[in-house]
Structure 1
């Protein structure tokens, strides 16, 4: 009998009954009780404090804001998916706007140099956001691989205002991550930033230098 088998045999033959999971108190990581407006304001305050940019729009108008954004930032090559409703709508809106749409559902080895050297921006959907930390959360897929949010110099993320939750714990609970953990979920709390030994902060050294969040509301705020 191997050492592993001996240990497992001892555990199975415990005389004081089966092992029980300890009681856990999760109240410290949830229960903030913020209103939708408070969540929105907190998220925006935190993500803009680290050089994130927020643009408010509506579900009906967001592609118009996207076109304006691309023109303002001189973005000519945009990487995006094909299947999610966000890239589908973007592709339709950008059809005759002079922007080259770069397909991302390819083996990275086939377009690695292109992605690092000639793509101006990446467009992604988001799963939602976290008010407590001012973070977006993304669940990458073959249609929207994680590299389009991590490599191009500009990352444009589309977020629904009603998908902002209080805490990371609330996201995990609400979306059942324990029963189906994503292989590479991303938490994004601003553009890429790093500091040298003298603590001089620099943006865009190891990833996007700009993060723009298009927040979609059901209707214009009054």
Structure 2
């Protein structure tokens, strides 16, 4: 029995429930597959070109920065420029999903995989961007480790224009289309912040101080 099975077994025991049978599992699956969409605001129901502009505008309102690039091959140069402008070390931890990208002669030390405590900047890929609020939809998995989203001071995220959707409901549709549900789905809106203490805004309380979104046309 795995640690996960033991934990779920303890939860079921505390609730007085038995292991779900095939009929119950089928009911759960049917409910997941036959979900009903919630209310979608009018601001999220506009032509796609307008959604792209709204996403960028909303991202800026919550403290994120953006750069618009033509293609994936432009990312390494944009990353090198960002690290230089922010006076950050010329090194970055990159999601395996982007491992095929060539860094050429860029003066950046590149590592792949999950983030380490010593990493100051990371680069990952978003499943979707929600124009309604300028929010990134980030999923966990071997190709996009969740630690990349939260450990560094600076998180850079690749997002293609075709993956920008109107509302959260559209984002969840992207998750369901994956087939296998990721262990974690994170909706990230701007850099980490809190104002819990004396209503003083503090950046980087639970994650990155800087969030930079690289929006690709192709």
Please confirm whether the aligned pair reaches a TM-score higher than 0.5, indicating the same fold. yes
The secondary structure found in structure 1 opposite 2:100 is helix
Contact kept? 2:128, 2:174, Cα under 8 Å: no
Q: Does residue 29 in structure 1 map to residue 40 in structure 2? A: yes
Q: What is the count of residue pairs matched by the alignment?
A: 187
Distance 1:216 1:28 in 2: 29
Where does residue 63 of structure 1 map in the other structure?
A: 76
Distance 1:146 1:71 in 2: 25
Q: Deviations over 1:177-196 (max 9, x none)?
A: 59532210111111110113
How far the C-alpha of 1:62 sits from its partner, in A, is: 3.1
How far the C-alpha of 1:57 sits from its partner, in A, is: 1.1
Contact kept? 1:79, 1:102, Cα under 8 Å: yes
Q: Deviations over 1:3-42 (max 9, x none)?
A: 979xx9xxxxxxxxxxxx8xx9746237742111211121
Where does residue 14 of structure 1 map in the other structure?
A: none
TM-score (norm: length of structure 2):
0.74
TM-score (norm: length of structure 1):
0.73
How far the C-alpha of 1:97 sits from its partner, in A, is: 3.1
How far the C-alpha of 1:217 sits from its partner, in A, is: 1.0
Distance 1:126 1:29 in 2: 21
Structure 1 gap ranges (5+): 9-20, 109-114
* Runs of 4 or more above 6 Å deviation: none
Contact kept? 2:159, 2:215, Cα under 8 Å: yes
CA RMSD between the two structures: 2.8
Distance 2:99 2:80 in 1: 13
Where does residue 143 of structure 2 map in the other structure?
A: 143
Distance 2:203 2:154 in 1: 11
- Which one scores higher on RCO, CA 8 angstroms, separation ≥ 6? 1
Q: Does residue 99 in structure 1 map to residue 108 in structure 2? A: yes
